[in-house]
Chain A
């Protein structure tokens, strides 16, 4: 049969529910519903759980209407209409699942595949590819195309992070619309016309805006792939864990895709209040540090650091010595290694207090730590051990851009202020380090910071310290110079809460097991605090957060469950 089917005769429809002044009532596949005026048929269908298949439509971008996959039948209109661009109207009768629509979808699928390369075995998109999904759901299951396909460049680098395969592209133009409407960088254009139309950049102007990775997310097929993820893992092995990016104070919602206890990629998680559908490129790739930096896997104690003023750092050999596992005592059971190191740390700090006075102790704690970590930092370092001077280094770079990127590169500066440790403050840190250089600070606890690597603490000044206790996840220059280095969880290895720059409290999740003998910062500090008389039971991050909530008014009433996946905007934050 070649003539297009005639539209079905109007049939008896269920009674429509009443619609308010700004609403319309319609039926979709016999289901009555009410939607706001301006809602499209595609969006309305979503509301009653009906997926209208589509490629070019994206809720974060303008409507293009070019893929034609969302064609549906609307009574009284002779031609099928695209659901993405047709506004729902009062009394409209929509059919998305009849013979005519099914035949049309088959046709569109066939057209999309006639010039598409059979790349599935080597294509990253396999497993999350709309061509695969829709062919299985709506396609004929075979193609009648038996000609030479249109060929195009298959491995074209569009920019630092994005690779382009011209043959896989279905010209939906999502990537172009993203660059025009969201990043507003306009690097992409559509060149030529007809079946030789192709996406491209201008010579010398690659796709290098700070959000280029989002084009890979929104590409419905494998035409755009992320260079850092290409061929790394099949997506059906990946498990997505919802979390929040720790790259800056925005706290974009993300999914960490894990496999074999490794994070393979980060992708945006929709949050209308924070990042909508997008994340920036540095944030997207921030998990790479976990693999690239040398890990602090076990507690380390510098030889000779038993509490007395021991030999100081010297280049080479000493650090090799310090790299060996802790204590000469029998066995290397982790519990022993931990307790030995914690004992050593406590002894060192106590020693400094006794010899030089408690006011010569100071601490630097990071705004990259979670609310739980910082709560314990205050309780242990400040209240229990009695360190009066606790400062939070600032990490600022560039400017806030008009989209997501914040100048403040710490994810929990607000949280640090709210639990009483103080917001990031370069001035207070400078004071401490100046006193240190002048010999008035003799014991320093550094949690999650690297003042030596950041150029704030010199070798000479370090020699003024009788005690340098470092808690960190990697072997930073500061950790290498420490008397005691205690391994903590890196990003993605521990539960916690960050508060972003707008006062939104959001959960970061443990997606992978901590490396080596690493522990969450809050647990390490609690154990240290025990050695100074801290009592109290801290069985889990969740229970600890409950305690934060009950003792800090701004967090009152909150819990991990209450925060959920989208987080909660704190009042008076």
Chain B
């Protein structure tokens, strides 16, 4: 089976295995590395990393599906993760969501046809001091209101 990841990622996973007292620990960082390279974790990647770490593919599928950050399908170039939990909800997160849905023309859990944006709701991001907030890929954007949302979308090419 050809390796579904680049040689650098494959090497990184080897390094990760050696970095822990037990190689099993390398699974989560290895999955992060695969997702960083490919944007999501395919069935093929799961089987590949199972072989590398020395666990069963069904086990890897269980791990990938347990953690919300691991995507099993590609997401938009700008993956918008809007916080929905109470402190953000108290500061208007539902209205922000409705605004995003209107602006993007997609529902929560969907990706725009051009692949530019995807939108999901996530639980408390631990950034309640600037509620309501979202993360786009790995960056936070807080104190959202309609205007800030529009400016943010504009800036994300």
Binding site for B on A (CB under 8 A): 186-193, 200-203, 205
Contact = CB atoms under 8 A, between A and B. Distances in A.
Nearest to A191: B65
A192 B56 contact: no
A186 B58 contact: yes
Given A202-B46, A202-B47, A203-B43, A187 B58 contact: yes
Interface in B44-99: 46-47, 55-62, 65-66
Bin chain B's interface residue count: 10 to 19
A189 B43 contact: no
A186 B57 CA distance: 8
Contacts of A203: 43
Given A202-B46, A202-B47, A203-B43, A192 B58 contact: no
A190 B62 contact: yes
Nearest to A203: B43
Interface of B: 43, 46-47, 55-62, 65-66
3 tightest A-B contacts by CB?
Answer: A189-B58, A186-B56, A189-B62
B56 A191 contact: no
Nearest to A190: B62
A202 B58 contact: yes
Nearest to A194: B66
A428 B107 CA distance: 77
27 contacts: A186-B55, A186-B56, A186-B58, A186-B59, A187-B56, A189-B58, A189-B59, A189-B62, A190-B62, A191-B61, A191-B65, A191-B66, A192-B65, A192-B66, A193-B65, A193-B66, A200-B58, A200-B61, A201-B58, A202-B43, A202-B46, A202-B47, A202-B56, A202-B57, A202-B60, A203-B43, A205-B57
A53 B62 CA distance: 29
Main SS class of interface, A: strand
Contacts of B47: 202
Main SS class of interface, B: helix
A188 B47 CA distance: 14
Most buried by A among B43, B57, B59, B62: B62
A171 B83 CA distance: 30
Most buried by A among B47, B56, B60, B66: B56
A190 B58 CA distance: 8
Nearest to B43: A203
A198 to B, nearest CB: 9
B56 to A, nearest CB: 3
Contacts of A193: 65-66
Contacts of B56: 186-187, 189, 202
Contacts of A186: 55-56, 58-59
Given A186-B55, A192-B65, A205-B58, 5 more contacts: A189-B62, A191-B62, A191-B65, A193-B65, A202-B57
A162 B85 CA distance: 41
B58 A188 contact: yes
Most buried by B among A202, A203, A205: A202
Contacts of A202: 43, 46-47, 56-58, 60-61
A190 B60 CA distance: 10
B106 to A, nearest CB: 23
Contacts of B61: 189, 191, 200, 202
A205 B43 CA distance: 12
Nearest to A186: B56
A450 to B, nearest CB: 41
A15 B65 CA distance: 53
Contacts of B66: 191-193
A319 to B, nearest CB: 52
Contacts of A187: 56, 58
A131 B47 CA distance: 36
Nearest to B50: A202
A114 to B, nearest CB: 23
Most buried by A among B56, B58, B65: B58
A186 B47 CA distance: 13
Contacts of B59: 186, 189
Nearest to B56: A186
A192 B66 CA distance: 5
Most buried by B among A189, A190, A191, A203: A189
A203 B43 CA distance: 8
A191 B58 CA distance: 9
Contacts of B62: 189-191
Contacts of B46: 202
Most buried by A among B46, B60, B66: B66
A187 B43 CA distance: 15
Contacts of B55: 186
Contacts of A205: 57-58
Contacts of A189: 56, 58-59, 61-62
Nearest to B62: A189
Nearest to A187: B58
Nearest to A185: B56
Nearest to A207: B58
A354 B57 CA distance: 69
A202 B47 CA distance: 9
Contacts of A188: 58
A246 to B, nearest CB: 33
Contacts of B43: 202-203
Contacts of B58: 186-189, 200-202, 205
